[in-house]
Chain A
Amino acid sequence: MRKKGYFRNIADTCWTIFDGMAVTMSHVFRKPVTVQYPDRMPVRVQDQLPFRYRGILEVDLEICTGCLACERACPIDCIVIEAKKDMKTKEMILSRFDIDMAKCMYCGLCSEPCPTGSIHHTPEFEGADFSLESLVRRFVKDPVVAYKVKKGDQPETDPETAMLLERGLRYVNEFASGGEAE
C-alpha cells in the first residue's frame, strides 16, 4: 500500500466523509423499498404469489378419487385417508381425509402423484393458530362418494366438477413438468 502523506490523509478523510454523507443524504430522498406486510399493500401477498407456490394444502373433494396415492407419497404421514369400496355400487366412499398441517413440511410430494390434481398447495401461508389440533385440516365432514375418472376421452359433464378438474390437471402438469429439467 502506498503510504500517504499526513496532509493528504486529512484531505482524503474530509473528502470521503463529505461525499459519504452526500450519498446517505441522497438516500433520504428515495422511496423506501420496504414492503409493509400485511396491511399496507395494494394487493395481498397471497394474490401475488405464483401458481406453483407451496402454501397450505387444500383438497377438492369433488374430484378426489380416493386412490390413497397422496397418503402413500407423504414421507411424514401427515395425511390420513379412510376410504372403503362399496361392494354394491362399486364406488369408493371417503369417510375421512385429514391433513395435519402442523406436521406438513410443504414438500409437495403428495400433489405430484394425484391423478386429478385434487390435493394441491394454495398460495395461503398464514397458518398461525392457538392450538395444534386446529391445524389439522379435516376435509370430510360426512362420508362422501369419491370421484370416478371417466373412461376414455369422455368429457366431464358437470360444469363445476369440470372446472375443478381442469384446474387440478393444470396444477399436476405444471408440477410434474416444471420442476425437472428432462
Chain B
Amino acid sequence: MQDFLDSLIAGGSFAGIPRDLVYAGGMLVFGLIVVFGFVLNVSGATTFVERRVWGRMHNRVGPNRVGPQGILQWLVDGIKLLMKEDIVPADADPPLFKLAPYVVIMGFVAAFVAVPFSSALIVADLDVGLLFITSVTALVVVGILMAGWSSNNKWSLIGGIRSAAQIVSYEIPAGISLLPIVMIAGTLSTQGIISQQGWAPWTWFLFYNPFTFVGFFVFFTAALAEGNRTPFDLPEAESELVAGFVTEYSGVRYLMFFMAEWGNLYIIGALVTLMFLGGWQVPHFTDVAVVQNAAQFLCFFLKAYGWVLIAMWVRATLPRVRVDQLMSICWKFLVPIAFVNLIGTAVWMVLFPEGLWPVRILLFALGTAVILYFCGRVIFHLRRAQVRQRGLFTANPLS
C-alpha cells in the first residue's frame, strides 16, 4: 500500500498535500474498500453458508427460496434487520446500550488492518501485526460487557460476565500458542510470518515440529472460544440465557453483533492460515503482479474460509460445554499444553536451528494419514447408517 501511495506522490498526484495526510487518506480509502467490499459481504454470506451447511448435516435442506438455491437469503435477512425498529429498553442505560455494538464491530473490523489478503494486498503491514490483532479483538469483550450491563437484564448480564470470563481465560492459551510461531519466524508481522513459509504443505509452520502441530489445534480451539462459537457459546446459550448479551437488542444493533460474530470466524480462519498454513503462498508462476496477487488472494481466502467451514462443522457436531467444563478445558488442558508447546519449540530451536526436514515430512505424512483415516471413518458411518436403515423396516424393535 505504502509503495503504491509513494509512487502516486512521486507522480505528483497529491502536490501540496502533506505526505502523512495522503497516507491517512489512502489508509481510510483502502480500509473502506476492505470493509464494504469484503468484510461485510463475507460475514453476511457466511450466515447463508452456515445455515445451508448445518441443514445438510442435520439431514435438512436449509434456506433455498430466495434466489437460486437461496443464495440471496443473507441480503434479505440483512435488509429485514435494517428495517426493524431499534428498541432501547426503558430501564436500559441508553448511551452504553447504543454504543456497545459499535465497540464490538470496531474490535472486529480493526483486526482486518493487519490481516493480509495477498503479498501486496494488506491495509497496513504492521511490525506488531499479531499483537495488534489479538489486542483489538480483545476489544470485543468490552463491547459485550457493556451490552450485558447496560441492557439491565439479568440474562444479558450473565451472558456478558460469562463472555468476559471466557475471553480473558482463552486469551492465554491462544496467545501462548502464537508464541512458538513468533519465535520461529522471528517477527510479529503477518506478512513476515507468511514469507517464511512456502507454498508446499511441508514448509508450513504447522509441520515445523510436533509442538507447532499440537499448538495449531490448541490455538484453533482457543480461538473458537474467543469468538464465542459453539461448543463455547456460553455467553449466548439459548437454552439458559435466552440470547445472552443480545437479548435486549433488535434491528440493526442486533445485526452488528452477529456481523461481528460471523466475521470473527473469518479472522480466526485467517489467523490460522497465516500462522500455520502458509498464508497466501502460491508457486511463482507468472511475472504479472496482478495475476500473481489474485492467485495469492484466492489461495488465502480458500484456506481461511475452509477453517470457517470447519468451525461450522464443529458447531453442528459438538454440544455446548458447561461453565465449569469450559474453565477446566482452558486452565487444566489448553494452558499447560500451550506452555509445553512454547518450551518444546524453544528447545527444538536450540537443538535444530535450521529445522528438521525429516520431521516435517513425517508430520506432513501424519496429517495426510489422519485425513485419510477420517475419510475412512466417514464411509464407515455412512455404511452403518444404511445397514441400520434397512434393519428398521425389516425387524420390529418391539417384538
**Using a CB–CB distance below 8 Å, which chain A residues touch chain B?**
9-10, 17-34, 36
Which residue of A is nearest B381, CB measured? A26
- Cross-chain contact of B57 among A10, A17, A27, A33 (Cβ < 8 A): A27
- Cross-chain contact of A26 among B60, B61, B333, B378 (Cβ < 8 A): B378
- Cross-chain contact of B313 among A9, A24, A32, A33 (Cβ < 8 A): A24
Contact (A25, B385) CB under 8 Å given A20-B318, A32-B56, A34-B61: no
A30 touches B374 (CB 8 A): no
**Size category of the binding interface on chain B:** 20 to 34
Q: Does B59 contact A (CB under 8 A)?
A: yes
Chain A residues, Cβ within 8 Å of B314: 21
A30 touches B55 (CB 8 A): no
B57 touches A24 (CB 8 A): yes
Contact (A26, B385) CB under 8 Å given A32-B61, A36-B61: yes
- Cross-chain contact of A22 among B53, B55, B318, B377 (Cβ < 8 A): B377
- Cross-chain contact of B59 among A19, A21, A22, A32 (Cβ < 8 A): A32
Which residue of A is nearest B58, CB measured? A27
Q: Does B111 contact A (CB under 8 A)?
A: no
B56 touches A27 (CB 8 A): yes
A124 to B174, CA, bound (A): 59
Q: Is the interface of B mostly helix, strand, loop or mixed?
A: helix
A34 to B55, CA, bound (A): 10
Contact (A22, B385) CB under 8 Å given A27-B58, A28-B57, A32-B61: no
B56 touches A22 (CB 8 A): no
B56 touches A28 (CB 8 A): yes
Which residue of A is nearest B384, CB measured? A26
| CB proximity of B367 to chain A, nearest CB, Å | 13
Q: Write the B201-242 contact mask toward A (1 if CB under 8 angstroms, else 0).
A: 000000000000000000000000000000000000000000
Q: Does B368 contact A (CB under 8 A)?
A: no
A24 touches B316 (CB 8 A): yes
B60 touches A34 (CB 8 A): yes
A22 to B314, CA, bound (A): 11
B382 touches A29 (CB 8 A): yes
Known: A27-B56, A32-B59, A34-B60. 6 other contacts (CB 8 A): A21-B314, A22-B381, A24-B313, A24-B317, A30-B382, A34-B59
A36 to B70, CA, bound (A): 14
A26 to B385, CA, bound (A): 9
Chain B residues, Cβ within 8 Å of A17: 317-318
11 A-B pairs whose Cβ atoms sit less than 8 Å apart in the complex: A10-B333, A20-B317, A21-B314, A22-B378, A24-B316, A25-B57, A29-B378, A29-B382, A32-B60, A33-B59, A36-B61
